[in-house]
Structure 1
Amino acid sequence: MKRLILVLSILFFVSCDYFDKKKIDTKTIVNDELKSINWNDVDEYPTFSICDSTNNKKECFQNVLRDRLNAKLSNQNIVVTEDVNDTILLRIYIDSEGVFSIKSIECSDITKAQIPQLDSLLRHSFDSLPKIFPAIKRSQQVATEFSLPVIVNIN
């Protein structure tokens, strides 16, 4: 009988840990969740309505931008004194509402000297874009920023 009481009392004291509930702070849960999110990638890239039927919406989106840019620039009569062969980097920003803007235009000093109106030409090339649907991250519309290289070759 003494052994039974001893075993039961040991089990009683040891089992108290099983009934003790550990409370997890909500801040800890939120911080752990925020650490697990890859903030440099989105679930769905920004898109136009004409890209809905394609599988690669990112490529379609970039192609629409390039086609629009090529169409606008090909209509311009640009005169240069020297040949221009440069890659211009457009930093494009699309906010969570789908508003398109060019944050910066990076090109060489020679290109800027040869085509002083290049900045305004590039910015006005995107004036009449169709409605943009912003990027999606975890079922929320988010702002995105990306680079679009533009090759300028004028002889």
Structure 2
Amino acid sequence: MSPQKNRNFTRRTGVMKRYVYFLLFILISSCSFFESKQKRTQELINEELRHIDWNSVDSYPFFYTCDETATKAQQKICFEETLISHFQETLNDFEFTLTDKESETAAVIFVIDTLGRINVTDIEKDASVLTQMPEFDGVITQSLKNLPKLAPALKRGIPVNTKYRIPVQLNTN
């Protein structure tokens, strides 16, 4: 190879090396750019999650007979009134009486899921209630299952599960 060609070859390889180093630099710096952008996004998400009140909902579950555009307070009242009125109406067909105590309170705990379905999770009651009224759990569960169709509660526009506890007062003869 002639000295002229050798110089041109060396010059080209030097230029190519600089070009390769430049590309490597761009790739490395762009990766850290994306990494810092991703890190900043995660920090913003974490900050937002810290400020969310996870113990309240933006809108209560509502029965389709209630006004969806009502205020949160009005939605809560309509939900509670509809629930209690249906519950009382259904339970009036049954006589729950105890002979041991003057009165007893049972607590019905249920969840309204993201599809608006009701699932009874627990019925807290004294052992005497179970002995004297073995059909109690079935009647309570069926009463809640027969509620009119309802929409789930919303948190930031997303359907969420909500848990409720209803006291049921049982009287004696």
TM-score range, shorter chain: 0.7 to 0.9
**CA shift at 1:78, angstroms?**
4.5
Question: What TM-score does the superposition give when structure 1 sets the normalisation length?
Answer: 0.76
**2: CA distance, partners of 1:36 / 1:121:** 41
Counterpart of 2:157 (choices 122, 136, 139) is 139
**2: CA distance, partners of 1:51 / 1:153:** 32
Counterpart of 1:38 (choices 33, 50, 53) is 53
In structure 1, the residue corresponding to 2:139 is in which secondary structure? Answer: helix
**1: CA distance, partners of 2:51 / 2:97:** 52
CA distance 1:37–1:79, change in 2 (3 Å): closer
The answer for the alignment partner of 2:85 in structure 1 is: 67
Question: What amino acid sits opposite 1:138 in the alignment?
Answer: R
1:68-109 CA-to-partner distances (Å, cap 9, x unmatched) read 222222112456544551121111101111111111110112
The answer for the alignment partner of 1:29 in structure 2 is: 44
Question: What amino acid sits opposite 1:38 in the alignment?
Answer: D
Greater relative contact order structure (CA < 8 Å, 6+ sep): 1
Counterpart of 2:66 (choices 51, 56, 60) is 51
The answer for the alignment partner of 2:3 in structure 1 is: none
In the TM superposition, 1:6-155 aligns within 5 A as 25-52=40-67, 56-78=74-96, 80-83=98-101, 85-155=103-173
Matched-pair identity in %:
33
CA distance 1:78–1:139, change in 2 (3 Å): closer
The answer for the alignment partner of 1:17 in structure 2 is: none
Question: What TM-score does the superposition give when structure 2 sets the normalisation length?
Answer: 0.69
**CA shift at 1:147, angstroms?**
1.1
**2: CA distance, partners of 1:91 / 1:141:** 20
Select the structure that is richer in helix.
Answer: 2
In structure 2, the residue corresponding to 1:51 is in which secondary structure? Answer: coil
Task: Give every structure 1 segment of 4 or more consecutive aligned residues whose post-TM-superposition deviation is greater than 3 Å.
Answer: 77-84
In our comparison, the structure showing a higher alpha carbon Rg is 2
RMSD: 2.2
* Structure 2: gaps of 5 or more residues: 1-35
**2: CA distance, partners of 1:27 / 1:79:** 57
CA contact (8 A) 1:95 1:144 kept: yes
